Amino acid sequence: MVTKTEETQLNRLENQVDNGGGGAWEYLCMVRKLKVRRSVKVLKHGLLILNDSKKRSSLGPEEWTLYEQVAVAAMDCQSLEVAKLGGMRFFVLKLMQYVICNLLQDCANALQKKFPESKRVGRLEAMVLEAKGSWGEAEKAYPSLLEDNPFDQVVHKRRVALAKAQGNLTGAIDLLNKYLETFMADHDAWRELAEIYISLQMYKQAAFCYEELILSQPTVPLYHLAYADVLYTLGGIENLLTAKKYYSSTIDLTGGKNTRALFGICLCTSAIAQLSKGRNKEDKDSPDLQSLATAALEKEYKQRASDKLSVFTSGFKSLKVSS
């Protein structure tokens, strides 16, 4: 995770480079180190170095790292929704796609020529096939790479991405579950699996994924919040009671500044009251918690959206909470 200090440094360096103050290579190295996604800038400044023979040769062996970085950025920048555009803009973006596609192939060819037996280059070539929409060829390339290194996490994840790109969410689920049997500590994979389950309305399976995330990273409020959302969606007294607890823990972990969790407290309290009709003895603190959450939300609206306060107030009157 990128810290605020690192993000500030990166933004300052990016502004410096954009304004002609130099430091393009340092910027590209920092983007790579922090693993942030700034593909347009990487493509722009990376190409300026690669097209300048003096600058390129001064990099030494790092030249090939830059080729790979620019190639990946080019793939990312090709994701243009040109079908929704018309006229000259459509033509310009189509031309950009053509140029980027050729640039991508040039980078891959340069790396293949320099490192003909490299599995890393082979992985990049498979990604190029993905970018071109050659799904069948890419599907053949990735398994062959795993034969040589079955623990290549990037290749496993590319297979998941390939399945998703083709709309094969069931296949993506199978691949992720198989991947997590080996790499159980990969938090990003658990979260990706949870989001796929949610998109398919498989909420119980998604809840399991968030439980795993909370167990491994109990201080990350995002996981508490997502888990509470899933439980609220499932419904039922037990799930709603548990959801309210996790909305509360989200508020604790964020210092009371998570608006979504505050709304979640109010909605859970209302739903529990309607389902139990005041007979639920396990939820004695509901009215007090509801009042505190409502007060916090009113304060937030007064400070940030005073013109919407009346809408908020009238909306909350429809929530029936037993006192």
Residue 138 φ then ψ, to 5°: -65, -40
In sign, the C-alpha dihedral spanning 189, 204, 264, 219 is: negative
Is the whole model's pTM more than 0.85, yes or no?
no
Q: How many CB atoms lie within 10 A of CB 263?
A: 16
Angle between helices 4-18 and 39-50 (to 10 degrees): 50
To which CATH superfamily is domain 123-209 assigned? Tetratricopeptide repeat domain (1.25.40.10)
pLDDT of residue 208: 98
Structure tokens, 177: 């579950």
Q: Are 82 and 91 in contact (CB under 8 A)?
A: no
DSSP string covering 255-276: TT--HHHHHHHHHHHHHHHHHH
Structure tokens, 13: 């360096």
In sign, the C-alpha dihedral spanning 181, 182, 184, 186 is: negative
Listed residue (237, 246, 238, 184) closest to 213, CA to CA: 184
Domain ranges in the chain are 1-81+100-116, 123-209, 219-278+286-323
Q: What CA–CA distance (Å, rounded) separates 247 from 266?
A: 10
283 DSSP assignment: G
Q: What CA–CA distance (Å, rounded) separates 268 from 249?
A: 14
Angle between helices 169-182 and 153-165 (to 10 degrees): 170
Q: What CA–CA distance (Å, rounded) separates 41 from 236?
A: 49
Q: What CA–CA distance (Å, rounded) separates 121 from 155?
A: 12
Structure tokens, 307: 């013109």
Q: How many CB atoms lie within 10 A of CB 213?
A: 21
Q: What CA–CA distance (Å, rounded) separates 116 from 231?
A: 51
Q: How many CB atoms lie within 10 A of CB 251?
A: 25
Angle, alpha carbons 37-224-221 (nearest 5°)? 55
Residue 75 exposed, middle or buried by CB count within 10 Å (0-12, 13-18, 19+): buried
Q: What CA–CA distance (Å, rounded) separates 131 from 165?
A: 10
Q: What is the largest CA-CA distance in the chain?
A: 79
Structure tokens, 71: 């190639």
323 residues of the chain, pLDDT tens digit each: 788 899 999 999 999 999 988 899 999 999 999 989 898 899 889 888 988 889 988 999 898 888 888 888 888 876 433 333 344 443 334 444 545 566 666 777 777 777 777 777 888 888 888 877 888 888 888 888 888 889 999 999 999 999 999 999 999 999 999 999 999 999 999 999 999 999 999 999 999 999 999 999 999 999 999 999 999 999 999 999 999 999 999 999 999 889 999 999 999 988 998 888 756 555 556 667 888 888 888 888 888 888 888 888 877 776 655 43
Angle between helices 4-18 and 24-34 (to 10 degrees): 150
Q: What CA–CA distance (Å, rounded) separates 287 from 244?
A: 13
pLDDT of residue 93: 41
Q: Cα–Cα distances in Å, from 101 out to 41, 105, 118, 132? A: 17, 6, 22, 8
Structure tokens, 172: 């993506």
pLDDT of residue 83: 32
